Structure 1
Amino acid sequence: MTPRALDRARLDRATSHLDAPFAIVDLDAFDANAAGLLRRARGKPVRVASKSVRCRALLERVLAREGFAGVMAFTLAEALWLAREGFDDILVAYPSADRASLAQLAGDPKLAAAVTVLVDDVAQLELAERARAGGREEIRVCLELDTSLALFGGRTRIGALRSPLREPGHLAELARSIARRPGFRLVGLMAYEAHIAGLADAVAGRPLTSAGIRLMQRVSRRELATRRAEVVRAVRAVAPELEFVNGGGTGSVGGTVAEEAVTEVAAGSGLFQPHLFDHYRAFSGRPAALFALPVVRRPGVGVVTVLGGGYPASGVAGRDRSPLPYLPEGLRLSPREGAGEVQTPLLGAAADDLLIGDAVWFRHAKAGELCERFDALHAVEGDRVTATLPTYRGEGRTFL
Structure 2
Amino acid sequence: MVVVDLDAFDANADDLVRRAGGTPIRVASKSLRVPALLTRALARDGFAGVLGYTLREGLWLVEQGISTDVVLAYPTVDRGGLRRLLADEKARASITLMVDNVAHLDLIDGCREPGTSVPVRVALDIDAGLRLGRSHVGPKRSPLHDSADVLGFARAVIARPGFELVGVMTYEGQVAGVQDAVPTQRAKSLVVRRLKSASMAQLAERRSQIASALAELVELEFWNGGGSGSVEATAADRAVTEIAAGSGLLVPTLFDHYQSFRPRPAAFYGVPVVRKPSEGIVTAAGGGFIASGPAGKDRAPLPWAPAGLHLTGLEGAGEVQSPLTGPGVAALEIGDWVWFRHAKSGELAEHTNLVHLVSGDSVVETVRSYRGFGCSW
Q: What TM-score, normalized to structure 2?
A: 0.98
- Which one-letter code corresponds to 2:353 in the other structure? D
- For residue 145 of structure 2, what is the aligned residue in structure 1? 166
Task: Provide, for residues 224-279 of structure 1, a one-character-per-residue CA deviation record: whole Å limited to 9, x for no partner.
Answer: 0000111112222221x210000000000010000111101000000001011001
- Which one-letter code corresponds to 1:96 in the other structure? T
Could you tell me which of 113, 117, 128 is aligned with 2:108?
Answer: 128
Please state if 1:250 is matched with 2:228.
yes
CA distance in 2, matches of 1:77, 1:166: 28
Task: Provide, for residues 54-90 of structure 1, a one-character-per-residue CA deviation record: whole Å limited to 9, x for no partner.
Answer: 0111101110001100000000110011011111110
CA distance in 2, matches of 1:107, 1:205: 54
Please state if 1:99 is matched with 2:102.
no
CA distance in 2, matches of 1:294, 1:81: 34
- For residue 151 of structure 1, what is the aligned residue in structure 2? 132
Task: Provide, for residues 164-186 of structure 1, a one-character-per-residue CA deviation record: whole Å limited to 9, x for no partner.
Answer: 10011111111111111111100
Could you tell me which of 259, 269, 293 is aligned with 2:271?
Answer: 293
- Which one-letter code corresponds to 1:224 in the other structure? L
CA distance in 2, matches of 1:247, 1:74: 15
The correspondence of residues 57-72 of structure 1 with structure 2, limited to 5 A, is: 57-72=36-51
- Which one-letter code corresponds to 1:89 in the other structure? D
The correspondence of residues 1-400 of structure 1 with structure 2, limited to 5 A, is: 22-86=1-65, 87-134=67-114, 136-152=117-133, 155-239=134-218, 241-399=219-377
Structure 1 unaligned blocks of 5 or more = 1-21
Q: CA offset at residue 137 of structure 1?
A: 3.1
- For residue 18 of structure 1, what is the aligned residue in structure 2? none
CA distance in 2, matches of 1:203, 1:393: 33
Q: CA offset at residue 352 of structure 1?
A: 1.7
- Which one-letter code corresponds to 2:69 in the other structure? D
Task: Provide, for residues 301-341 of structure 1, a one-character-per-residue CA deviation record: whole Å limited to 9, x for no partner.
Answer: 11100001110101001110000000011100111111101
- Which one-letter code corresponds to 1:129 in the other structure? D
- Which one-letter code corresponds to 1:230 in the other structure? Q
For the Cα contact (< 8 Å) 1:193–1:247, is it kept in 2? yes
CA RMSD of aligned residues (A): 0.9
Q: CA offset at residue 150 of structure 1?
A: 1.0
Which runs of at least 4 in structure 1 moved beyond 4 Å after TM superposition?
none
- For residue 9 of structure 1, what is the aligned residue in structure 2? none
Q: CA offset at residue 283 of structure 1?
A: 0.8
CA distance in 2, matches of 1:201, 1:381: 31
Q: CA offset at residue 133 of structure 1?
A: 2.8
CA distance in 1, matches of 2:290, 2:211: 38
CA distance in 1, matches of 2:211, 2:62: 28
Structure 2 unaligned blocks of 5 or more = none
For the Cα contact (< 8 Å) 2:228–2:246, is it kept in 1? yes
Answer with 230-239 or 92-101: which moved more: 230-239
- Which one-letter code corresponds to 2:37 in the other structure? L
* Percent of aligned pairs sharing the same letter: 51
Task: Provide, for residues 3-35 of structure 1, a one-character-per-residue CA deviation record: whole Å limited to 9, x for no partner.
Answer: xxxxxxxxxxxxxxxxxxx10011000000000
CA distance in 2, matches of 1:232, 1:112: 25
- For residue 14 of structure 1, what is the aligned residue in structure 2? none
Task: Provide, for residues 78-121 of structure 1, a one-character-per-residue CA deviation record: whole Å limited to 9, x for no partner.
Answer: 00110111111100000000011111111111000000000010
For the Cα contact (< 8 Å) 1:312–1:323, is it kept in 2? yes
Q: Secondary structure at the match of 1:242?
A: coil
Answer with 67-76 or 199-208: which moved more: 199-208
Answer with 227-236 or 255-264: which moved more: 227-236
CA distance in 2, matches of 1:262, 1:283: 21
For the Cα contact (< 8 Å) 1:332–1:347, is it kept in 2? yes
Q: Secondary structure at the match of 1:238?
A: coil
CA distance in 2, matches of 1:234, 1:186: 14
Q: Secondary structure at the match of 2:121?
A: strand
Q: CA offset at residue 136 of structure 1?
A: 5.0
CA distance in 2, matches of 1:267, 1:119: 21
Q: Secondary structure at the match of 1:172?
A: helix
CA distance in 1, matches of 2:92, 2:256: 39
How many corresponding residue pairs?
375
Q: Secondary structure at the match of 2:97?
A: strand
For the Cα contact (< 8 Å) 2:117–2:161, is it kept in 1? no
For the Cα contact (< 8 Å) 2:291–2:347, is it kept in 1? yes
CA distance in 1, matches of 2:94, 2:293: 31
For the Cα contact (< 8 Å) 1:107–1:136, is it kept in 2? no
CA distance in 2, matches of 1:133, 1:94: 24
For the Cα contact (< 8 Å) 1:105–1:137, is it kept in 2? no
